[in-house]
Amino acid sequence: MSRPSYKPRPKQSSARDLLPIQACIQPSTPIAGENVDLYADGACDTTAGHGGWACILRYGDHEMELGGHAEQTTNNRMELTGLLEGLKALKRPCQVRVVTDSQYLRKAFTDKWILNWQRNGWKTAGKDPVKNQDLWEELILQAKKHALTFVWVKGHNGHDENERVDRRAVAERLKLRR
């Protein structure tokens, strides 16, 4: 008798992934400000080192889209820059729900990697220097201004805003082609 063949289903975002998880760094006083959704992404051609970042800020009936590019960079730097530039665009403290497809970015805040890195003198658990320390330090300053929660979404999986910021980040990266 032949056994039926089973194909694994593609991993979907679980309900748990879609729940906002509070960042490990928060303002010292509670934020009563506006609720903002921030969608951020980065893209990089690792061969050429051309990168692009993008973010969408949505609050009330308003929306702002930002983007930029850099040479000699990495995808992770662009992911961090998308979030950083979005937070810097906020003019007053806000409650920010960050929606990202970057586990690196999300887990640094939700799994307390940042706190461990600081405690270890900006060294990883393996005693290597933390990459992108300059951006992490800027993000810490922003996290102390805004109440951040993080929501992870699977990249390239049909999430409208995530797809938009991905397209914008790639378009920004392509501006550097010669």
List the catalytic residues.
41-42, 79, 101, 156, 166
Q: Residue 101, annotated ligand binder?
A: yes
Nearest to 102 by CA among 117, 121, 83, 84: 83
Residue 30, both tokens: 């509670």
Nearest to 102 by CA among 65, 140, 153: 153
Q: Residue 166, annotated ligand binder?
A: yes
Alpha-carbon distance of 165 to 85, in angstroms, equals 13
Q: Where are the beta strands (DSSP E) in 32-167?
A: 35-45, 50-59, 62-70, 95-100, 147-152
Residue 62, both tokens: 């308003």
Q: Residue 17, annotated ligand binder?
A: no
Q: Residue 134, annotated ligand binder?
A: no
Indicate the residue type of 20. P
Q: Binding site for Mg(2+): what residues are annotated?
A: 41, 79, 101, 166
Which residues are known binding-site members? 41, 79, 101, 166
